[in-house]
């Protein structure tokens, strides 16, 4: 019984550890401006040093995680 509890504890610990890695995920967004239509340009992720193109109607997809800085 003691070994089963230890194995169960190790499995939960491993799951918790992998859940905290914090990999970048795809961020889907839209750039909106009240006076101008935004359909050209770039969105920069300063922390990851990546960029993506702003498509039609201002939509973009970029890889980001929490606390990343985006520059439009």
Write out pLDDT tens, residues 24-37. 788 898 888 887 77
Q: Are 69 and 47 in contact (CB under 8 A)?
A: yes
Q: What token pair was written down for 33?
A: 């401006």
Going by C-beta distance under 8 Å and a sequence separation of 6 or more, which residues neighbour residue 28?
A: 59, 60, 61
Q: How far is CA 33 from the centre of its chain?
A: 23
Mean pLDDT, consecutive 10-residue segments, the chain of 72 residues? Answer: 84 73 80 81 90 88 87 88
């Amino acid at each position: 019984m003691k070994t089963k509890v230890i194995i169960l504890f190790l499995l939960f610990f491993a799951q918790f550890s992998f859940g905290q890695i914090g990999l970048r995920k795809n961020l889907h967004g839209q750039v909106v401006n009240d006076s101008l239509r935004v359909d050209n340009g770039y969105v920069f992720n300063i922390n990851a040093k990546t960029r993506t193109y702003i498509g039609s109607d201002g939509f973009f997809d970029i890889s980001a995680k929490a606390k990343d800085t985006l520059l439009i």
